[in-house]
Amino acid sequence: MLALLVKARDLGEPVDYLIRATHNRSLPDGQKLFAQIEASASLGEIHFTLPKREGTKPRAVCQSVHVKRVNLKDEKGKSLQSTCVTVKERDAPLGTKPIVWRLLTNRSIKTLEEAVELIEWYRARWEIELFFDVLKNGCRVEALQLAHQVRLERALALFMIIAWRVARLMRLGRTCPDLDAELFFEPIEWKVAFAMLKKPVPQHPPTLNQVIRAIAMLGGFLGRKSDGEPGSKTLWTGLQRLFDGVLAIEGAQFVGLI
Protein backbone atom coordinates (compact mmCIF):
# COMPACT_ATOMS: atom_id res chain seq x y z
CA MET A 1 0.00 0.00 0.00
CA LEU A 2 2.79 2.44 0.92
CA ALA A 3 4.38 1.94 -2.50
CA LEU A 4 1.13 3.10 -4.11
CA LEU A 5 1.06 6.26 -2.00
CA VAL A 6 4.70 7.00 -2.85
CA LYS A 7 4.04 6.47 -6.56
CA ALA A 8 1.05 8.84 -6.43
CA ARG A 9 3.20 11.48 -4.74
CA ASP A 10 6.03 11.10 -7.26
CA LEU A 11 3.57 11.46 -10.15
CA GLY A 12 2.15 14.67 -8.70
CA GLU A 13 -1.10 13.14 -7.37
CA PRO A 14 -2.74 12.64 -10.82
CA VAL A 15 -5.86 11.01 -9.32
CA ASP A 16 -7.61 10.81 -5.98
CA TYR A 17 -7.07 7.64 -3.98
CA LEU A 18 -8.85 6.12 -0.99
CA ILE A 19 -7.20 3.18 0.78
CA ARG A 20 -8.06 1.38 3.99
CA ALA A 21 -5.19 1.61 6.47
CA THR A 22 -4.39 -1.71 8.11
CA HIS A 23 -1.05 -0.91 9.76
CA ASN A 24 -0.68 1.43 12.72
CA ARG A 25 2.31 3.22 11.25
CA SER A 26 4.82 5.26 13.18
CA LEU A 27 4.81 8.98 12.38
CA PRO A 28 8.00 11.06 12.04
CA ASP A 29 7.51 12.46 15.57
CA GLY A 30 7.40 8.95 17.04
CA GLN A 31 3.66 8.81 17.66
CA LYS A 32 1.39 6.12 16.26
CA LEU A 33 -1.03 6.95 13.45
CA PHE A 34 -4.24 5.52 14.87
CA ALA A 35 -3.88 7.02 18.34
CA GLN A 36 -3.14 10.49 16.99
CA ILE A 37 -6.16 10.51 14.69
CA GLU A 38 -8.59 9.26 17.33
CA ALA A 39 -7.29 11.88 19.78
CA SER A 40 -8.28 14.66 17.37
CA ALA A 41 -11.59 16.50 17.66
CA SER A 42 -14.55 14.85 15.94
CA LEU A 43 -16.00 16.53 12.84
CA GLY A 44 -19.41 15.06 13.64
CA GLU A 45 -21.35 11.83 13.31
CA ILE A 46 -22.79 9.68 10.56
CA HIS A 47 -25.77 7.33 10.82
CA PHE A 48 -26.71 4.40 8.59
CA THR A 49 -28.25 0.95 8.73
CA LEU A 50 -25.85 -1.97 8.51
CA PRO A 51 -27.41 -4.51 6.11
CA LYS A 52 -28.24 -8.05 7.14
CA ARG A 53 -25.42 -10.52 6.88
CA GLU A 54 -25.16 -14.24 7.45
CA GLY A 55 -25.97 -14.83 11.11
CA THR A 56 -26.71 -11.18 11.88
CA LYS A 57 -29.71 -8.88 11.61
CA PRO A 58 -29.74 -5.32 10.22
CA ARG A 59 -28.88 -2.71 12.85
CA ALA A 60 -28.51 1.04 13.15
CA VAL A 61 -24.94 2.32 13.32
CA CYS A 62 -23.66 5.66 14.63
CA GLN A 63 -20.03 6.54 13.96
CA SER A 64 -17.93 9.52 15.00
CA VAL A 65 -15.74 11.01 12.27
CA HIS A 66 -12.14 12.07 12.91
CA VAL A 67 -9.90 13.62 10.25
CA LYS A 68 -6.28 14.76 10.34
CA ARG A 69 -3.57 15.55 7.83
CA VAL A 70 -0.43 13.58 8.68
CA ASN A 71 3.10 12.94 7.46
CA LEU A 72 3.95 9.28 6.84
CA LYS A 73 7.40 7.77 6.52
CA ASP A 74 8.11 6.49 3.03
CA GLU A 75 10.91 4.14 4.21
CA LYS A 76 13.43 6.03 2.08
CA GLY A 77 14.26 8.76 4.54
CA LYS A 78 11.52 11.04 3.25
CA SER A 79 7.89 11.61 4.15
CA LEU A 80 4.63 12.01 2.31
CA GLN A 81 1.45 13.80 3.24
CA SER A 82 -1.87 12.00 3.51
CA THR A 83 -5.23 12.59 5.16
CA CYS A 84 -6.41 9.94 7.57
CA VAL A 85 -10.17 9.56 8.02
CA THR A 86 -11.21 7.44 10.99
CA VAL A 87 -14.83 6.52 11.67
CA LYS A 88 -15.50 4.68 14.91
CA GLU A 89 -18.82 3.24 16.04
CA ARG A 90 -20.37 4.66 19.17
CA ASP A 91 -22.58 2.69 21.56
CA ALA A 92 -22.22 -0.62 19.72
CA PRO A 93 -24.61 -3.33 20.98
CA LEU A 94 -23.33 -5.43 23.87
CA GLY A 95 -21.24 -8.31 22.59
CA THR A 96 -20.76 -6.70 19.17
CA LYS A 97 -17.38 -5.52 17.95
CA PRO A 98 -17.55 -1.78 17.12
CA ILE A 99 -17.21 -0.95 13.43
CA VAL A 100 -14.03 1.04 12.83
CA TRP A 101 -12.76 2.17 9.43
CA ARG A 102 -9.43 3.94 8.94
CA LEU A 103 -8.95 5.41 5.48
CA LEU A 104 -6.05 7.22 3.83
CA THR A 105 -6.56 9.70 0.99
CA ASN A 106 -4.63 12.41 -0.80
CA ARG A 107 -7.61 14.74 -0.57
CA SER A 108 -7.63 17.63 1.88
CA ILE A 109 -10.73 17.47 4.10
CA LYS A 110 -12.05 20.41 6.07
CA THR A 111 -15.76 19.64 6.54
CA LEU A 112 -17.93 16.73 7.59
CA GLU A 113 -19.57 16.72 4.16
CA GLU A 114 -16.20 16.21 2.45
CA ALA A 115 -15.40 13.32 4.80
CA VAL A 116 -18.82 11.73 4.28
CA GLU A 117 -18.30 11.68 0.51
CA LEU A 118 -15.21 9.52 0.96
CA ILE A 119 -16.90 7.31 3.54
CA GLU A 120 -19.70 6.67 1.03
CA TRP A 121 -17.06 5.70 -1.51
CA TYR A 122 -15.72 3.15 0.93
CA ARG A 123 -19.18 1.81 1.76
CA ALA A 124 -19.62 1.06 -1.96
CA ARG A 125 -16.73 -1.39 -1.88
CA TRP A 126 -18.99 -4.48 -1.81
CA GLU A 127 -20.62 -3.42 -5.07
CA ILE A 128 -17.17 -2.94 -6.59
CA GLU A 129 -16.02 -6.34 -5.35
CA LEU A 130 -19.18 -7.94 -6.75
CA PHE A 131 -18.49 -6.34 -10.14
CA PHE A 132 -14.94 -7.71 -10.26
CA ASP A 133 -16.10 -11.11 -8.99
CA VAL A 134 -18.46 -11.39 -11.98
CA LEU A 135 -15.73 -10.10 -14.30
CA LYS A 136 -13.20 -12.61 -12.98
CA ASN A 137 -15.23 -15.73 -12.21
CA GLY A 138 -18.22 -15.25 -14.50
CA CYS A 139 -16.62 -13.76 -17.60
CA ARG A 140 -13.30 -15.50 -16.77
CA VAL A 141 -11.25 -12.63 -18.14
CA GLU A 142 -8.09 -14.09 -16.61
CA ALA A 143 -8.47 -17.08 -18.93
CA LEU A 144 -8.30 -14.88 -22.03
CA GLN A 145 -5.11 -15.66 -23.93
CA LEU A 146 -4.92 -12.59 -26.13
CA ALA A 147 -1.43 -11.68 -27.20
CA HIS A 148 -2.05 -8.05 -28.13
CA GLN A 149 -3.00 -5.23 -25.79
CA VAL A 150 -5.56 -3.77 -28.20
CA ARG A 151 -7.44 -7.08 -28.37
CA LEU A 152 -7.35 -7.46 -24.59
CA GLU A 153 -8.70 -3.92 -24.12
CA ARG A 154 -11.56 -4.59 -26.54
CA ALA A 155 -12.43 -7.84 -24.76
CA LEU A 156 -12.36 -6.12 -21.36
CA ALA A 157 -14.59 -3.33 -22.62
CA LEU A 158 -17.19 -5.92 -23.69
CA PHE A 159 -16.94 -8.08 -20.58
CA MET A 160 -17.11 -5.08 -18.24
CA ILE A 161 -20.52 -4.22 -19.73
CA ILE A 162 -21.67 -7.81 -19.18
CA ALA A 163 -20.36 -7.84 -15.60
CA TRP A 164 -22.10 -4.54 -14.89
CA ARG A 165 -25.41 -5.91 -16.21
CA VAL A 166 -25.21 -9.10 -14.13
CA ALA A 167 -24.34 -7.17 -10.95
CA ARG A 168 -27.09 -4.61 -11.60
CA LEU A 169 -29.74 -7.24 -12.24
CA MET A 170 -28.79 -9.10 -9.06
CA ARG A 171 -28.97 -5.93 -6.96
CA LEU A 172 -32.22 -4.61 -8.46
CA GLY A 173 -33.80 -8.04 -8.11
CA ARG A 174 -33.29 -7.67 -4.37
CA THR A 175 -33.89 -3.97 -3.81
CA CYS A 176 -36.66 -3.34 -6.37
CA PRO A 177 -38.23 -6.79 -6.79
CA ASP A 178 -41.60 -5.56 -8.08
CA LEU A 179 -40.29 -3.69 -11.12
CA ASP A 180 -41.71 -4.76 -14.48
CA ALA A 181 -39.37 -7.39 -15.94
CA GLU A 182 -39.80 -5.92 -19.45
CA LEU A 183 -37.79 -2.90 -18.32
CA PHE A 184 -34.77 -5.22 -18.48
CA PHE A 185 -35.73 -8.21 -20.64
CA GLU A 186 -37.34 -8.70 -24.03
CA PRO A 187 -40.63 -10.67 -23.96
CA ILE A 188 -39.00 -13.64 -25.66
CA GLU A 189 -36.29 -13.74 -22.98
CA TRP A 190 -38.52 -14.02 -19.92
CA LYS A 191 -40.94 -16.36 -21.72
CA VAL A 192 -38.12 -18.71 -22.71
CA ALA A 193 -36.81 -18.65 -19.12
CA PHE A 194 -40.10 -20.06 -17.81
CA ALA A 195 -40.43 -22.48 -20.72
CA MET A 196 -36.93 -23.91 -20.15
CA LEU A 197 -37.92 -24.59 -16.55
CA LYS A 198 -41.08 -26.32 -17.83
CA LYS A 199 -43.19 -23.88 -15.84
CA PRO A 200 -46.38 -22.15 -17.02
CA VAL A 201 -45.48 -19.01 -18.96
CA PRO A 202 -47.24 -15.98 -17.36
CA GLN A 203 -49.91 -14.32 -19.47
CA HIS A 204 -48.71 -10.89 -18.38
CA PRO A 205 -45.18 -9.55 -17.82
CA PRO A 206 -43.93 -10.86 -14.46
CA THR A 207 -41.93 -8.90 -11.89
CA LEU A 208 -38.18 -8.52 -12.12
CA ASN A 209 -37.60 -10.73 -9.09
CA GLN A 210 -39.69 -13.54 -10.57
CA VAL A 211 -37.64 -13.50 -13.77
CA ILE A 212 -34.32 -13.18 -11.91
CA ARG A 213 -35.17 -16.25 -9.81
CA ALA A 214 -36.26 -18.19 -12.91
CA ILE A 215 -33.02 -17.38 -14.71
CA ALA A 216 -30.96 -18.24 -11.63
CA MET A 217 -32.71 -21.63 -11.46
CA LEU A 218 -31.39 -22.30 -14.94
CA GLY A 219 -27.96 -21.74 -13.42
CA GLY A 220 -28.42 -24.07 -10.47
CA PHE A 221 -30.29 -21.92 -7.94
CA LEU A 222 -32.69 -24.15 -5.98
CA GLY A 223 -35.03 -21.45 -4.76
CA ARG A 224 -35.67 -22.98 -1.34
CA LYS A 225 -36.94 -20.75 1.46
CA SER A 226 -33.59 -21.01 3.24
CA ASP A 227 -31.59 -20.11 0.10
CA GLY A 228 -32.27 -16.38 0.13
CA GLU A 229 -31.93 -14.53 -3.16
CA PRO A 230 -29.79 -15.67 -6.11
CA GLY A 231 -26.13 -14.73 -6.26
CA SER A 232 -23.99 -13.61 -9.17
CA LYS A 233 -22.72 -17.10 -10.07
CA THR A 234 -26.11 -18.75 -10.59
CA LEU A 235 -27.44 -15.65 -12.34
CA TRP A 236 -24.46 -15.51 -14.70
CA THR A 237 -24.72 -19.22 -15.53
CA GLY A 238 -28.48 -18.95 -15.96
CA LEU A 239 -28.15 -16.01 -18.35
CA GLN A 240 -25.77 -18.02 -20.51
CA ARG A 241 -28.28 -20.88 -20.73
CA LEU A 242 -31.14 -18.44 -21.35
CA PHE A 243 -29.38 -16.74 -24.26
CA ASP A 244 -28.62 -20.14 -25.79
CA GLY A 245 -32.31 -20.99 -25.52
CA VAL A 246 -33.38 -17.69 -27.07
CA LEU A 247 -30.95 -18.18 -29.96
CA ALA A 248 -32.34 -21.68 -30.53
CA ILE A 249 -35.93 -20.39 -30.64
CA GLU A 250 -35.06 -17.51 -32.96
CA GLY A 251 -33.13 -19.89 -35.22
CA ALA A 252 -36.06 -22.28 -35.40
CA GLN A 253 -38.40 -19.39 -36.24
CA PHE A 254 -36.02 -18.22 -38.95
CA VAL A 255 -35.98 -21.55 -40.79
CA GLY A 256 -39.72 -22.07 -40.27
CA LEU A 257 -39.58 -24.97 -37.84
CA ILE A 258 -41.93 -23.15 -35.46
Q: What is the 3-state secondary structure (H, E, C) of 139-198?
A: CCHHHCCCCCHHHHHHHHHHHHHHHHHHHHHHHHHHHCCCCEHHHCCCHHHHHHHHHHCC
Q: Do 144 and 190 belong together in one domain?
A: yes
Q: Do 134 and 250 belong together in one domain?
A: yes
Q: Do 118 and 176 belong together in one domain?
A: no
Q: For residue 195, give the nearest of 111, 187, 251 by alpha carbon.
A: 187
Quote the domain boundaries for residue 247: 128-254
Q: Do 117 and 137 belong together in one domain?
A: no
pLDDT of residue 198: 93
pLDDT tens sequence across 88-138:
998 888 888 899 999 999 888 999 999 999 999 998 888 888 888 888 877
CATH code (residue 52): 3.90.350.10
DSSP state of 22: -
Q: Do 117 and 184 belong together in one domain?
A: no
Q: Do 140 and 60 belong together in one domain?
A: no
Count Cβ atoms within 10 A of the Cβ of residue 102 and give its class: 0-12 exposed, 13-18 middle, 19 or more buried: buried
Give the number of other Cβ atoms within 10 Å of residue 226's Cβ: 5
Q: Do 184 and 133 belong together in one domain?
A: yes
Q: Do 90 and 113 belong together in one domain?
A: yes
Q: For residue 135, give the nearest of 174, 162, 115 by alpha carbon.
A: 162
Last residue of some domain: 123, 157, 189? 123
CATH code (residue 222): 1.10.740.10
Last residue of some domain: 97, 123, 149? 123
Q: Do 73 and 152 belong together in one domain?
A: no
Distance CA 45, CA 63 (A): 5
Last residue of some domain: 69, 94, 123? 123
pLDDT tens sequence across 158-197:
989 988 999 899 889 988 999 999 999 999 999 999 999 9
Question: Cα-atom radius of gyration of the chain, to the nearest Å?
Answer: 24
Q: Do 213 and 158 belong together in one domain?
A: yes
pTM flag (> 0.85):
no
Q: Mapping DSSP to helix (H, G, I), strand (E, B) and coil, where does residue 17 land? A: coil
Q: State how many domains the chain has.
A: 2
Q: Do 211 and 150 belong together in one domain?
A: yes
Categorize the per-residue pLDDT at 143 as very low, low, confident or very high, splitting at 50, 70 and 90: confident
